[in-house]
Amino acid sequence: MQREEIWTEKYRPRKLSEVAGQNAIIKNLQSYVRQRNLPHLIFSGPAGVGKTAAAVAMARELYADTWAENFTELNASDERGIDVVRNKIKNFARTMPIGNASFKIIFLDEADALTDAAQSALRRTMERYSGTCRFILSCNYSSKIIEPIQSRCSVYRFKSLSADALAARIKFIANKEGLKLSDDALRALNYVAMGDMRRAINALQSVAVLSSEIKPEMIYEITATARPEEIQALITTALAGKFPDALELLDALLDKGISGDEILTQMHRLMINLDLPARKKVALMDRIGEADYRITEGANERIQLDALIASFCLASDND
């Protein structure tokens, strides 16, 4: 089985109808394609939910064979200053479209990384060259785009992918690659991905290199993710006041190479659904957030995790 190509590129949607889990947005984008016209756009949402895929697919449908000449993609996080707007973006925007196209498209990824000065310069460029160029700004947080740009764009907010949408695409790829994918493995991929299609596809390809039969334990191991039941056991043991036992469970997770921030993320996901009194759950969630902040700011990871487990034990109903 040939696996040289990166699957996130190999299976990138070529048509808008292939973009998973964003049906309402895709319907609007398809209407732009039918009209052969579109406004400036902002695509906002978490990573791996189809923002870039939708932009590229729309360009393919608009321009057909000349899409590569009439579409350019820039990453604003690489060059955040005003020069990238004055040089690269303006030079592309001022040239006429190729073929029968009425306008070209500039796709600016991670646009929320642009400085305010760069965004102000971009606003003027969007106004000046709107006759020959359309802008699609992709970002995680539309609130970080200055208001004058937001008012000139139609804003589309992409959501995290549902388990059904993610499963449908993963099954499609598995069938194409001749992989045997069980329901348990599919649930594991969904848990690991957290609504991120790119993460799910990368995990599937990494496991497929080892075996054509995809098993849940392989997915958790290769992505350095703890099983949900392991995190559940850690939380319940700590809440039972069994501090030494909880530390042993924590040691086992760290020995697998699972990072502290990943453990905190998974604890947070499971804590939301725990059957606990609301006041206790609020206090424990607050403690998880505090530990996450301290680790992010450079505190010792192990000390913070041990302290978190200790605080869970102190919250135990057992004296």
Contact at 8 Å (CB) between 28 and 226?
Answer: no
- Beta-strand ranges (E) seen in the chain are 40-44, 71-75, 104-109, 133-139, 153-157, 180-181, 213-214
Torsional class of 157: left (φ above 0), alpha (ψ -120 to 50), beta (otherwise): beta
pLDDT value for 316: 80
- The pTM assigned to this predicted structure is 0.81
State residue 130's pLDDT score: 84
Contacts for 89-92: CB closer than 8 Å, 24+ residues apart: 89/122, 89/125, 90/125, 90/129, 92/133
d(CA 194, CA 217): 17
pLDDT given for residue 1 in this prediction: 42
Alpha carbon distance 221, 272 (integer Å): 24
Going residue by residue through the chain (319 aa), what tens digit of pLDDT does each one get?
Answer: 444 678 888 888 889 999 988 999 999 999 999 998 899 999 999 988 999 999 999 999 998 888 888 898 887 666 555 666 666 777 777 788 887 888 899 898 888 888 888 888 888 888 888 888 899 999 998 888 999 999 999 999 999 899 899 999 999 999 999 999 988 999 999 999 988 999 999 999 999 988 889 999 999 989 889 999 999 999 999 999 999 999 999 999 999 888 899 999 999 989 888 888 889 999 999 999 999 999 999 999 999 999 999 999 998 865 4
**163-177 and 183-193 helices, crossing angle to 10°:** 120
Which pLDDT score, from 0 to 100, does residue 10 have? 86
pLDDT of res. 315: 86
pLDDT for residue 4: 65
Amino acid letter at 277? P
Q: Under a CB-based contact definition with an 8 Å cutoff, are residues 80 and 66 in contact?
A: no
Domains of the chain, start order: 22-157 (3.40.50.300), 163-222 (1.10.8.60), 228-314 (1.20.272.10)
Give the pLDDT score at 126. Answer: 86
pLDDT score at 79: 58
